[in-house]
């Protein structure tokens, strides 16, 4: 289960770094289908918990990447720091 969450977190990082918010809807649909297949594979495990965990990991990864992307854009667009002499 941990590898499942890590895989979805990394997928969220990639989505957040490369795409805007609209890319999450197809990703959630994919996670829903994946959760049903995982539930059948795990002998009818609670699929809603698998779905919730996958979506949560995907959102956290997306939010982390979007935050880093935003900070990076702010850093690139920031005005240069003024030179302050040590003699003042």
Q: How many CB atoms lie within 10 A of CB 28?
A: 14
Query: For residue range 18-61, what is the model confidence (pLDDT) as tens digits?
Result: 877 777 778 888 887 887 787 777 776 676 777 778 888 888 88
Segment 44-53 long-range contacts (CB within 8 Å, at least 24 positions apart): 50/4, 53/1, 53/4, 53/5, 53/8
- CA geometry: angle 13, 28, 70, nearest 5 deg: 35
How confident is residue 86, by pLDDT bands cut at 50, 70 and 90? low
Q: Which two tokens stand for residue 41?
A: 């594979």
Q: Is residue 85 pLDDT above 80, yes or no?
A: no
Instruction: Report domain extents, the chain.
Output: 2-77
CB 53 within 8 A of CB 4: yes
Q: Which two tokens stand for residue 37?
A: 């297949």
Q: What percent of the chain has pLDDT over 90?
A: 0
Q: What is the mean pLDDT of residues 62-79?
A: 81
Residue 60 is predicted with a pLDDT of 86
Residue 20 is predicted with a pLDDT of 74
């Amino acid at each position: 289960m941990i590898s499942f969450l890590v895989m979805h977190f990394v997928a969220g990082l990639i989505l957040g770094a490369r795409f805007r918010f609209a890319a999450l809807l197809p990703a959630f649909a994919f996670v829903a289908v994946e959760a049903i297949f995982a539930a059948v594979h795990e002998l009818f495990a609670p699929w809603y918990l698998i779905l919730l965990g996958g979506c949560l990991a995907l959102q956290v990864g997306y939010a982390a990447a979007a935050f880093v992307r935003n900070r990076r854009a702010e850093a690139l667009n920031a005005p240069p720091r003024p030179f302050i002499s040590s003699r003042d």
